[in-house]
Amino acid sequence: MSRLLLAALLAACVARPARALEAAAAKVDITPDLKTERVWLAGFGAKGRKPTGVHDPLYARVVLLREGKKTVALVGLDLLGFYINDTRALRALWEKGDPSRSLFVHATHTHSGPDTVGLWGPMIGVSGVNRRYMARVNARVADALGLLESQLKPATAAGGRGTLDPRGLCRDLRDPQVIDPNLSVLRFKGADGKAIATVVNWSCHPEVIGRENTLLTADYPGPLCARVEEKTGGQCLFLTGAIGGLMSPDTETENFYETARIGAAVADAALALKTAPGGRGLSYRAATARVPVENSRYLLFLSALTGGHVLYTRQGKALAPWRAWPLSLRQLLFGLKEKDRPWVETEVSVLDIGPARLLGMPGEVFPELAIGGYDGRYSFGRPVVAKDGPVPDLAAAPKGPYLRDLIKAPVPMLVGLANDMLGYMVPEYDFKVRPSKSMLPRWPGHYEETNSIGPSSTRILTEAATGLLKEPRP
């Protein structure tokens, strides 16, 4: 009898996986208190809008994962953007120098949230960031992560991918007409079969509600997540994909019915995807990259960048924040020569979870960089180039493999605005601006260049991502 018992115990030990995945999820309200916190709505025009109320709450949604000694926090924020300095501040609060912990932060890019990047204040050139509010967001997320550590439980991860016809949901406002139709989902369930969290990745700007709106809202990601949470009983985290170019909601009216319609359509499509488990373990890695500030308008308002970034010289020496002002003055009076322009530090990242691989890019990636599509396969019935618009030189367009081709996993997810926000990642071949300090008048159909840190950033960040994706997993 004792031998049989010993054999059974040994068999159980062999059958039990050495590193089992554990998961927990939560959401916390990060809606600004308009009675005590002064904020400005971001996302449209050159200055902010004073909010008059709250239509629906803004949330920080958090999924905490542990496998063996590795712990990774996946955080989604209903905010326009989150600079690298704020990401690092949150990491310091939660990681506390523990190398076994990692943090992946994403902003949904809602255009009806508070200014978190300093470009939409009460007047042009004045930051609208409320630093006390930003500190409160980080504190609430860090507290939630601390609580979730005590709630981790055995979980399984399953993922699926498909395509969603964008017509009636998302359109391309810039030639060439390329829309990324990819829809990916990652589901975490407990041992009891109950949902813990669902991660949805899709590409379209959260700007159904336009510049006339003065109510705080998460836009379509709000009803999208609410529907998934209602249907599954677990939390939902939405990750915005390749939205540059410009991917904008396909609506004829700007109202909350349309945010609900688009959110529900994407949620239902994600819930309908078939999922399967995969063999990848939990892994996170990031690569630091430095890019030059080439946008002449950014050079005039460097103080906005220093709210979220450290400035560096071309040689890599860190500059004190006060150095932003004399540099901007020199830009205004004389124009900064290339050798004198500052650089900023950012990062690209890769997160492996079960069958999914997430590539995090610190900006609004053009879908052409993600999937190509210059041959019209992703134009969805529209001409690749409109006859009445400026004609991009498609012969000079980059060839594959494209970013999605390089995310070699059963469920590839391309995540924009991850860990930082540097504006649009415009393909260099089609980067066109006026040679003036204001970059005005804009080239017709070339709005995105004036909200990009510069053409070199696209190449530098794409190369950094390519190198990171080719590295062997640790």
pLDDT per residue over 152-205, tens digit each? Answer: 999 999 999 999 999 999 999 999 999 999 999 999 999 999 999 999 999 999
Q: What is the DSSP letter of 355?
A: T
Phi, psi for residue 386 in degrees, rounded to 5:
-70, 140
Please report the pLDDT score of residue 473 as a whole number.
73
Query: What are 183's strand-pairing partners?
Result: 162
Residue 224 Cα distances to 26, 144, 238, 244, 376, angstroms:
16, 22, 8, 21, 29
Phi, psi for residue 123 in degrees, rounded to 5:
-150, 165
Place of tokens 């946008």: 295
Residue 445 Cα distances to 148, 376, 384, 385, angstroms:
46, 19, 14, 11
Residue 174 Cα distances to 274, 386, 392, 426, 445, angstroms:
33, 9, 10, 11, 6
Angle CA(55)–CA(253)–CA(164) in degrees, nearest 5? 90
pLDDT per residue over 359-369, tens digit each? Answer: 999 999 999 99
| Mean pLDDT, range 381-408, rounded to an integer | 89
Q: Give, rounded to a whole angstrom, the gap between the first and last alpha carbons of the chain.
A: 44
* The pLDDT of residue 444 is above 50: yes
Please report the pLDDT score of residue 353 as a whole number.
96
CA-closest candidate to residue 141, choices 194, 104, 187? 104
* The pLDDT of residue 383 is above 80: yes
Q: Which two tokens stand for residue 365?
A: 């990636």
Please report the pLDDT score of residue 7 as a whole number.
43
Q: What is the DSSP letter of 64?
A: E
pLDDT per residue over 275-289, tens digit each? Answer: 999 877 999 999 999
| Mean pLDDT, range 27-42, rounded to an integer | 98
Indicate yes or no: pTM above 0.75: yes
* The pLDDT of residue 377 is above 70: yes
pLDDT band at 125 (very low <50, low <70, confident <90, very high): confident
* The pLDDT of residue 18 is above 70: no
Pair 286, 348: CB distance under 8 Å: yes
- Give the CA count within 13 Å in the CB-facing half-sphere of 91: 19
Cis peptide before 176 (omega within 30 of 0): yes
pLDDT band at 10 (very low <50, low <70, confident <90, very high): very low
| Mean pLDDT, range 364-383, rounded to an integer | 96
| Mean pLDDT, range 8-34, rounded to an integer | 74
- Give the CA count within 13 Å in the CB-facing half-sphere of 308: 26
Query: What are 101's strand-pairing partners?
Result: 71
Q: What percentage of the chain reaches a pLDDT higher than 70?
A: 95
Q: How many whole angstroms separate alpha carbon 240 and alpha carbon 413?
A: 10
pLDDT band at 15 (very low <50, low <70, confident <90, very high): very low
Place of tokens 């930082």: 420
Please report the pLDDT score of residue 78 as a whole number.
98
How many Cβ atoms are within 10 Å of 383's Cβ, its own excluded? 12
Instruction: Please state, rounded to an integer, the average pLDDT across all residues of the chain.
Output: 94
* The pLDDT of residue 144 is above 70: yes
pLDDT per residue over 303-332, tens digit each? Answer: 889 999 999 999 999 999 999 999 999 999
CA-closest candidate to residue 236, choices 273, 207, 198? 198
Residue 346 Cα distances to 239, 418, 460, angstroms:
19, 10, 11
Phi, psi for residue 453 in degrees, rounded to 5:
-70, -20
What is the total residue count of the chain?
A: 474
Please report the pLDDT score of residue 4 as a whole number.
45
